[in-house]
Amino acid sequence: MAAYLIRRLVQMVPTLLGVILLVFLLFNWVGGDPAYVLAGKFSNPDDIANIRRQLGVDQPLYIQFGIFLRQVLTFDYGLSWSTQEPVSHIFLTRLGPSIALLLPMLILETLIGVAIALAVAYVRDSWIDRALTLSTTAAMSISLLIYIIVGQYFFAFVLGWFPVQGWANHGEGWVRYAVLPILLGLAVSIAPAIRLYRTFILDEMGQDYVRTARAKGLSETRVMWVHVLRNASIPIITNVLSSLPGLLIGAFLLERFFSIPGIGREVIMAVERSDFPVIKAITVSVAIATMVFNLLADLAYQWVDPRVKLS
C-alpha cells in the first residue's frame, strides 16, 4: 500500500508540472498585459513600466515561470491584482460558502440518487421505471439557468418562501438562505445521478451472485442494499469522488444569482477583472484536488471491495 501510494504521488509530479506549464503559457499567451488595466485611465508609459516592474511581468519568461512554481509549492500566490487581498485569504474565506452549498447538495444527490436508482432498478421495465427514465431525461434537458431563473422567481419572489438572494452573514440563518439554491442545484444534478446509478445497479443485478443470494433465501432488502449496492458502489464512489474537486470551484451560476460569496463567484469576478493570481491559484488547486481525489477513489475501491488489489 505504501509503495503504491508513493508511486502514485511521484506520478503526480510530472502531471502537475504539465498543468502548471500549460496554465502559465495560456495566461501569457491570451491574458494580455495586466499593467494596462491596473494603470487606470490616466496612465502614461512610465506608469505602465513601473507597474510591470512591480508585478514582475517585465522579467524573462523563465523567471516568471520560476516565480509561479514557487507560488504553487508555497501556496502563496501573493496579492490579488485588483483588490490587493492575499489570494490565500480569498481562497480561505470563499471556500466556506461554496462547501456549505455544494457538500449538502452532493450528499443529498448521492443518497437520494442511490435510493431511487435501487428502487427503479428493482422494478425495471415497469411503468414506474419508464416514467422515471422519461422524467429524468426531460429534467436533464433543461439548463440550470432555467431552473435558477424560474425557481428564484416562483419560490422566492411569487411565493416568498425564501429570500430572493443573500447569504448568512449578519445574524440570519444559513438554512434560510441555502435551502433554495441547494434544492435548485439538486433538481439539476439528481436526474443524471439516478440514470447513472440505475445503470450501475442493473449491471450488478444480472450477476450470478445475486441469483445465488436469492437462492440462499436472503431477503430482497439484503440482496439489494448489501450485495448489489456493495458491488455497484465502486463506480458510484468514482462518480462521487470525481465530483469533489468541483467543490473548489463552486457552483458559479447558483452563487452569482443568489449572491453567495463562494469560490465560483470569485472565479467569475477574477476573470472579469483579469485578476490572474486568483485565476491561477484556483486553476492549479482544482488540478491538484482532481489528482488527489482520483487517488482517494482508488484507495476507496480496496476499502469497499477487498478483492481489489492496488499494485
Partner 1 sequence: MRFALRRCGVLVWGVSLSLALDLSVELGLEWYWGAAGLGSGLSLTAHAEEVEPPAHRVLHISSSTAETTLDPVGIQDLYSAKLASVLFEGALTYDYLASPAKLIPLLAEGMPEISDGGKTWTIHLKKNVRFAPDPAFKGKERTVQASDMAYTLYRLLDPALHSPFSFLLEGKLVGLDDLAKKAREGKQPYDYKAKIPGVEVVDASTLRLRLNAPDANFGHSLAQPNLGIIAPEVVQFYGDQMGSHPVGTGPYFVKRWMRGASMTLDRNPYYRARPWAFESGQDPASQKVIQEMKGKMIPAIPRIEIKIIPEAQSAWLAFRRGETDLIDLPSKLSPVALSRGHLKAELVKQGIQHEIAVEPEIIGNYMNLQDPMVGGMDPAHIALRRAILMSSDDEAMIRVIRKGQAVRLSYPVPPGVLGHDPKYKSMLPYDPVAANFLLDAYGFKKAADGLRRQPDGSPLVVRYWRTNEGESRDMEELAKRGMDQLHIRFEGHAVPFPDLLKAERSCQVMMRQFAWIADYPDGDDFMQLFYGPNIHANNVFCFQDAQWDRLYQETVALGPGEKRDQLYQKMARMIEMYGVMKISHARLHHELLQPKVMGFHISTIASLAEWPFLDLR
Contacts (CB under 8 A) with partner 1, residues 103-162: 103-104, 107-108, 110-111, 114, 149, 152-153, 156-157, 160
Is 16 a residue that touches partner 1 (CB under 8 A)? Answer: no
Contacting residues for 76 by C-beta, under 8 A, at least 6 apart: 87, 88
Q: x-or-dash pattern for partner 1, window 79-98, by CB under 8 A? A: x--xxxxx---xxxxxxxx-
Is 18 a residue that touches partner 1 (CB under 8 A)? Answer: no
Judged by CB under 8 A, the chain residues 234 through 263 that form the site for partner 1 are: 256-261
Half-sphere exposure in the Cβ direction for 272 (13 Å, CA): 7
The stretch near partner 1 (CB under 8 A) out of 34-42, 64-72, 134-142, 195-203 is 34-42
Of 281, 298, 206, nearest to 23 (Cα)?
281
State the sign of the Cα–Cα–Cα–Cα dihedral 119, 121, 123, 125.
Answer: positive
The stretch near partner 1 (CB under 8 A) out of 43-51, 62-70, 183-191, 203-211 is 43-51
- Residue 58's SS3 state is coil
β-sheet bridge partners, residue 86:
79
Residues binding partner 1: number (CB under 8 A): 83
The one-letter code for the residue type at 180 is: L
Residue whose C-alpha cell is 477487498: 306
Q: Cα–Cα–Cα angle for 291, 247, 18, nearest 5°? A: 30
Phi (first) and psi of residue 142, to 5 degrees: -100, 135
Residue 289 CB, nearest approach to partner 1 (Å): 14
Is 47 a residue that touches partner 1 (CB under 8 A)? Answer: yes
Q: Which of 45, 206, 217, 306 binds partner 1 (CB under 8 A)?
A: 45
Q: x-or-dash pattern for partner 1, window 269-288, by CB under 8 A? A: x---xx--------------
Is 229 a residue that touches partner 1 (CB under 8 A)? Answer: yes
Is 56 a residue that touches partner 1 (CB under 8 A)? Answer: no
